[in-house]
Structure 1
Amino acid sequence: MVSASIHGFILSFGLILPLGVQNVFVFNQGATHPSYKKVLPVILTASICDSVLITLAVLGISVIILKISWLNTLLLSAGILFLMYMGYVTWKSKPNSNSIEKASFTPKKQIAFAATVSLLNPHAIMDTIGVIGTSSAAYFGADKIAFTLACIFTSWIWFLSLAYVGRQTGPLESSAGFLALLNKVSALIMWGTAIYLAIQLLNK
């Protein structure tokens, strides 16, 4: 069980570490909200969505879902449109030192966006299925449960920590300029992901 847990931790950490829309958004919200408590909706949503994807990958259900052609196309199209729109909104956002909170999202928007970038990103889903799902096949019984829980635990700790680091960045004197730059980077990542998904859709 110990080796399975360590394997799950390393694997999950390796998948979640790279800079992506989900990570940038969690960090951004941590930086723009006046208190850590107010960013809990995005932390919980991102963590729960990852937990669901990991569980589905281990159970093998997600492989069946993504094999349905029309559902895969719908998933890609919805993801592209949403990322293009949110990229535009994020790019136009102009936080300033006197109104940093204006750059933050309401709890409902946090939940909606976090869920969308988690569940409507086929690339992330395929990573979860291809790596975590495939790796879990090597374990059975208690070892498989330990592996799965380690992956889920890593995801929760990561998002809690990422938002906390963002919150520590917020009070900096130069935070307005930093957040403006972060918004531009976030928008570019969103548009880049949308273009990547569009290329995938056209090549199907």
Structure 2
Amino acid sequence: MLEAILHGILLAFGLILPLGVQNVFVFNQGASQPTFLRALPVVITASICDLILITLAVLGVSVIVLTFAWLKMIIFIIGFLFLLYMGWIIWKSEGDTNRDQKLHLTLKQQITYAASVSLLNPHAILDTIGVIGTNSLSYNGNEKWGFTVACILVSCTWFTGLAITGRLLRKIDTTGKFLTIINKISAIIIWGVAIYMGYQLL
């Protein structure tokens, strides 16, 4: 059991550490929301989405996405368009901490965007299926669930840490200038992923 848990922890960290769209968005909201509690909807939504993807991958259900080419194509197209839009929203946002709070994403927007960058990200889906799903085949029974829970806990802990880091940055950067730069970089990363997805569609 211990081996399965350690395997899940190391594997999950390896997958979640790279600076992807989901990580950028969670960090960005931690930095832009007026309090950490206001960023919790993003953390919780991203964690739940990862829980769903990891569980489906381990159960083998999500392999359907790989089986039907048309379904994979639809996910890529929707993901491409959404990332272009998401990049534009983040690019336009300012880092000025004194601005009206109406400029911050609402609860509904946070949940919708967090779910979208998690579930409409084809690379995240394929990584989950291809890596976590495949590695889970080495285990059965309690060991498999130990492996699964370890992956999920790493994901939840990571998203919480990202939001807290963003919040700390907000406190240090009282002028908002650095946050504005972070927003621009975040938007460029998101557009880069969108372009790569568009290239794959062609």
**TM-score, normalising length: structure 2:** 0.95
Aligned pairs for 1:56-75 (under 5 A) are: 56-75=56-75
* Distance in 1 of aligned mates of 2:173 and 2:194: 33
* Equivalence for 1:82: 82
* Equivalence for 2:16: 16
* Distance in 1 of aligned mates of 2:166 and 2:55: 28
- State the Cα distance separating 1:103 from its structure 2 match: 5.0
Aligned-partner SS, 2:200 = helix
* Distance in 2 of aligned mates of 1:135 and 1:77: 28
- State the Cα distance separating 1:39 from its structure 2 match: 0.7
- Uncovered stretches (5+) of structure 1, i.e. residues with no partner: none
> How many residues are treated as equivalent by the alignment?
202
* Distance in 1 of aligned mates of 2:176 and 2:166: 13
- State the Cα distance separating 1:102 from its structure 2 match: 5.1
The answer (yes or no) to whether the contact 2:136–2:144 under 8 Å persists in 1 is: yes
The answer (yes or no) to whether the contact 2:33–2:104 under 8 Å persists in 1 is: yes
Q: Structure 2: which amino acid aligns with 1:73?
A: M
* Equivalence for 2:120: 120
* Equivalence for 1:5: 5
The answer (yes or no) to whether the contact 2:95–2:178 under 8 Å persists in 1 is: no
Q: Structure 2: which amino acid aligns with 1:134?
A: T
Deviation string, structure 1 residues 33-91 (Cα, Å, up to 9, x no partner): 12111111100100000010001111111112332122111111100001111111211
**TM-score, normalising length: structure 1:** 0.94
Q: Alpha carbons of 1:175 and 1:28: their partners in 2 closer, same or farther (altered >3 Å)?
A: farther
- Uncovered stretches (5+) of structure 2, i.e. residues with no partner: none
Deviates more, 1:9-18 or 1:99-108: 99-108
Q: Percent identity?
A: 56
Deviates more, 1:31-40 or 1:5-14: 31-40
Matched, 1:184 2:181: no
- What is the CA RMSD across the aligned residues, in angstroms? 1.3
